[in-house]
Each structure stands twice: as C-alpha cells, then as structure tokens.
Amino acid sequence: MIRVTVDKHSGFCWGVVRTIDIAEDELKSSGPLYSLGPVIHNPRETGRLEAEGLTTVTRDQIPALAGKRVLIRAHGEPPSTYALARQHGVTLIDATCPVVTKVQERIRKFHDQGYQVVIFGKKDHAEVIGLLGQTNGEAVVVRSVAEAEQVDASRKTVLFSQTTMDKPTFYAIADALRRRIAEFVVGTFEESAIDFHAKDTICGQVSGRDQKLREFARANDVVVFVAGKESSNGKVLLGVCREANPKTYFTEDEGGLDPAWFAGAATVGVSGATSTPQWLMEDVARAIERMHESSVITK
C-alpha cells in the first residue's frame, strides 16, 4: 500500500488568496467580471472562476469594455493600462499583490532619480511587464549572469527582482554587476535599506518555501508536483523539488498522472506552486489513491 501525503506548506500564497477572494466577492456582489489575463497561472482554478462568471480578456479588448468592471490580477499592470481604462470608462478592480505594488513603487523612485534599473526576471511575464512600465519601458531585464555582463557599466545602477525568482541566481547576478559598476545598489522593499547581502525583492513566501519543500521531497519516495505550465513560481519550486528528490514528476492535474511513476514506491508526496489550489492537490492525491488503493493524508 502506498502512503500519499499532501504538503501542508504548499498551495496559494496570501497574495493569490487575496486576489481570488476579491474576484469571488465581486462576482457574488456585482455579477459578471472581466480579468485582464488569466487570474492566476493555473488553468483549473481559472476555469472554476470562469464558471462563476469571470471572463478573461486582453489589454487590446479594454476599449470595447466601456462601463464594465475589469480585475487587475496579482501580477499587476503598467501605468499605461490604468490610463487606457480611464480613457474608455472601464472600472478597474485592483487586486495587485501588495508585495508587487511595493516593488513597482521602489522601481519608479529609482528610475526618477536617474538610475539604470535592472530587473532579474522573465521579460514576457505579466509581473515584469508591469515593472517595466514603471520606467517607461527603459529598464533592462536579465535572466542570467551572462546577460548581466552585457549591462551598461557606465551608469549608476540598481538591481531589482521579479518577486517569484530564485535567490541564488539573483545574488550571482548582483555579484557580477557589483564587480563591473562603480555606483551599484541592490533595491529592497524598504526606503532606507540597501543591504547587498540581506535584502532583495523576492517574495518571502516563495523563497521561504525552499527548505520545507526540500524536506518534504526527501521524506517521500516519489513526489508529484502540481502546477500550471505557465507558473513562474511553479517552475522555480519544481526545480527545488527535483534537486532534493530526482523522482519528482510534474502534472497540471490528475489527468497527467502516469502509473509508472509509482513503481516500487512506498510513500508519495503531493505538492504544488503558490498558484496551485488546495482542492486540486487533493484531487491529484485521491487519483493516486484510486490507482493504488492507498490512504491519503494531509500532514
């Protein structure tokens, strides 16, 4: 019999919980609602909310939504989106994660002070698009030390991070920039703190999960990691999980399970990203249970 355990430290971060709560409250109180992009990077949860009246739209559709209510998801948006909504009489329901909002504010202040802003992140990610917008698109986005080596070293520079990136790469990039740039600082959440070794703008709920996830992965023979394919946080945490346990397998839902994964396993752990709902991880655990007539527990 296989023992299946759902990771109690996985699932929605508080920023995602807040966004989902806002969406559900708006749907219940005022009816149909539009979301600017998928409300979170999890197709099953997005589908659940769409069934309740949430419609996903793109920025290009804003001009056709006069008089409608549009949700800004946790990732945030650039200032141009707010201006476009005002221009066309669209009511914005702002559910930007407060952590992301703080990073936007800090980037804007450094840009206004003449700094070259470098952002560690994924250029096409929704959060990074919002961060770039704080600099009129002038910030430099890097994903690696090699890309950081191409940054203009003649300008005073500040480094920020997308909130869901990994700390080791962030600090490797910071080291690389610090070696080349005379006037270089690492941006933080705090106005007064520029602490190269202790501060960054990576979400603590994301980075803080690393150790607990490693422990959970090592405690099980096999780990099934549940997340949306587009989840940036999911990709980071999946990598952490695989480092701790090579027998870690990815799936978006129970339909992606392969019985061969569990051959010879006595314990299976089910974990997920900060955008993975608890109910979905439990569905996956129950599907594994049905495969092996085992017991599912949350521990």
Q: Which amino acid is at 161?
A: S
Dihedral of alpha carbons 240, 243, 248, 251, sign: positive
Report the alpha-carbon distance of residue 166 to residue 120 in Å, rounded.
9
The two structure tokens encoding residue 89: 């009489």
Task: Assess contact for 252 and 44: CB atoms under 8 A.
Answer: yes
Give catalytic status of residue 252 as yes or no: no
* Candidates 26, 77, 127, 254; catalytic one: 127
Report the alpha-carbon distance of residue 244 to residue 122 in Å, rounded.
25
| 296 dihedral zone (left: phi>0; alpha: psi -120 to 50; beta) | beta
Catalytic residue list: 127
